[in-house]
Amino acid sequence: MIKRTLYFGSQAYLRTNTEQMVIELSESGEIKSAPIEDIGVLILDHQQITITQSLIAKLLANNVALITCDNTHHPVGLMLNLDGHTLQSQKFQCQVEASVPLKKQLWQQTVEAKLVNQAAVLKAERINNKYILNLAQKVKSGDSDNCEAQAASYYWKYIFPDFLEFRRERYGPPPNNLLNYGYALVRAIVARGLVASGLLPTLGIFHRNQYNAYCLADDIMEPYRPFVDKIVCQIIRGNGRFLEMTPSMKKMLLEIPVMDVLIDGQKSPLMNAVQRTTASLAKCFEGKGRKILYPVLE
C-alpha cells in the first residue's frame, strides 16, 4: 500500500481518537481525520501547530517519519521509531560487524547508481552526459578515485541554465532552497525505510561524521537525489529565475514520495522503492545478498 505524505502549513490542532489522526483546522474550524496506518510522512510547517503526545506516540509506533520545519519553512527535525523491526537487535549486530571490504563494495554500487541517475537527468535536459556515464563505469571499490566528486563538478556546472550562475551550496541562492527541501524529504523517507528494515540510520557505509545521526541515510539516499533534481529542473522550466519557494513549488516537491520510479525492472512509488532498497541492504549485511536494489531514473 502507498503510504500518504501529509503536509500542514497553517495553524492546526492534531490529536488522536482510536487509530485515527484528528485534524482541527483553526482558520476554517473544519475537522478531518485520517487513519494513522495510512501515513508514511507527516510534515509540520507552521509555528502554531499543536500536536498531542499520544498522537506522536501512535505515529512513531506506526513508523511514520515526523518532520518539523523552522520559520523559513525548511525541514530542521526528524522523529523516527526506535523499535522498527522484530529482529532489530540481530540486524544491528550484523550491521555493526559488517566488514570494511563489504562496505566498500556497497559504496561502489551506491556511487555507480547515483552517477547513472545523474546522467539520466542530464540526458532529459538535453545535456551531454557521456562524461558521467564513463565515470560510472570506472567506479572502484570504495570509490577510491573519487568518481562521485568528479561527476558532481561536471553535473552542477551544466544541469541548470547559465543565467542562474548556479553553485551547489547548502545556504546558497535558489534553486539551492528547492534542492534542500527535496533532499530533506528523501532523507526522511530513507531513514524511515532503514528503521523499518531493522537498521541503524546512524552507522554509515561511507559517511562517518560524528555529529551526524543519519550517516547511513545520507549514504543510501545518494542514488535518489537525482529524482529531486529532476523535479527542480521542471520547476525552473516553469519559473525561470524566480525560484523563491511558493506553494505550487512545494506541492511539486511533496509529490516526490509517490513519484513512479523503476526498480528491479518494475515501476513503483519512490517510497515503496526505498523500502526495497533498505531491505536489500539489510540482506547484504546479513550475508544473504550482495547487491543493493536501487532505482533507475528513466
The pLDDT value recorded for residue 28 is: 87
> Annotation-wise, does 222 bind a ligand?
yes
pLDDT value of residue 281: 97
How many domains does the chain contain in total? 2
What CATH number should be reported for the domain holding residue 115? Answer: 1.20.120.920
In this structure, are 54 and 190 located in the same domain? no
Place of cell 501547530: 49
In this structure, the number of other CB atoms found within 10 A of the CB of residue 120 comes to 20
Same domain, 120 and 35: no
Query: Domain check: are 45 and 108 in the same one?
Result: no
| Residues with pLDDT less than 70, the chain | 1, 84-87, 210-211
255 assigned ligand-binding residue: no
**Segment 62-103, tens digit of pLDDT:** 999 999 998 888 888 899 887 755 667 788 899 999 999 999
For the chain, the average pLDDT equals: 93
Query: Of 46, 79, 112, which residue sits at a domain end?
Result: 79
Residues whose CB is less than 8 angstroms from the CB of residue 167 and which lie 6 or more positions away in sequence, other chains included: 156
CB 59 within 8 A of CB 42: yes
Residue 62 sits in which domain range?
A: 4-79
Boundary of a domain, candidates 53, 79, 105:
79
| Predicted pLDDT at 227 | 98
Torsion of CA 225, 226, 227, 231, to 10 degrees: 110
On whether both 267 and 128 belong to a single domain, the answer is yes
Same domain, 51 and 94: no
What pLDDT score was predicted for residue 34? 95
For residue 139, give the DSSP letter: P
Residue 155: the pLDDT is: 98
255 and 150: one domain?
yes
> Which of 79, 101, 136 is the last residue in one of the domains?
79
- pTM for the model stands at 0.91
**207 has binding-site annotation:** yes
Residues 146 and 189 in one domain: yes
Look up cell 548556479; give the residue.
Answer: 166
Express as a percent the part of the chain with pLDDT over 70. Answer: 98
